[in-house]
Structure 1
């Protein structure tokens, strides 16, 4: 028996699938499809906030340097503004690394609820509902591979 996917809640093998506490044989599936729910704007807004947080130090740093050049201030004040602006701008690099990791994770989670449906012996059955886009993709591809390699006619 070939295992295509396994986690604590879902097992997809060449013999069948165990999901949500139910066991299904592959030959019981007439059709399998997926559906996407509505976009969760909170996830999109969170990505936007992360983008702003990455850009903010650069903008503040550039403003500091610009003010140092435009203002007719003493040499000490000009150096302090320019140096402070450069330091704030340089602080953006390590901050951006952390924030980009968070953006990557937000795309893994996705911004929509995903569902896997199947026609099981004539009954429409919801197999899986998840917000995790990466996990959804892994399970759906595993189920497709298992069905493609299933030699029993439906």
Structure 2
């Protein structure tokens, strides 16, 4: 028996497929395909909120510097406004790094559910639904290799 993919919820071998507690013999899967689900607008809005959270401190810093240059005030006030604006911009850098990491992870997850379907004994069965594109790709490729009886790719 060859194992093509294994994690805590999914096991794909040369003779069986087990996903989320359901198990099928590989010979029972007459046809396998994938489908993209509906767009999850909450995830798209979450990305927008993260981008806005990154831009607000930078915008406030820029406004402080512009105010310092535009206002005809004392030198001390100009330096304080410009320094405050620059300081706010610099403080935003670590926050921006953390938020950019979260945006990157949100793109890895995607804004749609990805589904793997199979025709089992004449009925269409949803084998897997996930928003993790990388995991979906690994599982789908492993399932294809198992159905074709192909080699293990590590």
Query: TM (normalized to structure 1)?
Result: 0.89
Residue 114 of structure 1: CA displacement?
A: 1.9
Residue 150 of structure 1: CA displacement?
A: 5.4
Q: Deviations over 1:103-130 (max 9, x none)?
A: 1221222211221100123221111122
Q: Deviations over 1:88-146 (max 9, x none)?
A: 11122211110011112212222112211001232211111223333222211221222
SS of residue paired to 1:143: helix
Q: Deviations over 1:37-94 (max 9, x none)?
A: 1111110000011111112222111111111011011111100000011111112221
In the alignment, what sits opposite 1:79? Answer: 79
Is 2:99 aligned against 1:95? no
State whether residues 14 and 150 of structure 1, in contact with CA within 8 Å, keep that contact through their aligned partners in structure 2: no
Is 2:146 aligned against 1:149? no
Is 2:32 aligned against 1:32? yes
User: Which stretch of the first structure deviates more once superposed, 28-37 or 40-49?
Assistant: 28-37
In the alignment, what sits opposite 2:7? Answer: 7
Provide the aligned C-alpha RMSD in A. 1.8
Is 2:21 aligned against 1:41? no
Runs of 5+ consecutive residues of structure 1 not aligned to the other structure: none
User: Which stretch of the first structure deviates more once superposed, 11-20 or 71-80?
Assistant: 11-20
State whether residues 4 and 12 of structure 1, in contact with CA within 8 Å, keep that contact through their aligned partners in structure 2: yes
Deviating above 6 A after TM superposition, structure 1's stretches of 4 or more consecutive aligned residues are: none
Query: TM (normalized to structure 2)?
Result: 0.89
- Equivalents in 1 of 2:2, 2:62: separation in Å? 57
Aligned length: 151
- Equivalents in 1 of 2:92, 2:142: separation in Å? 40
User: Which stretch of the first structure deviates more once superposed, 47-56 or 140-149?
Assistant: 140-149
In the alignment, what sits opposite 2:139? Answer: 139
State whether residues 26 and 150 of structure 1, in contact with CA within 8 Å, keep that contact through their aligned partners in structure 2: no
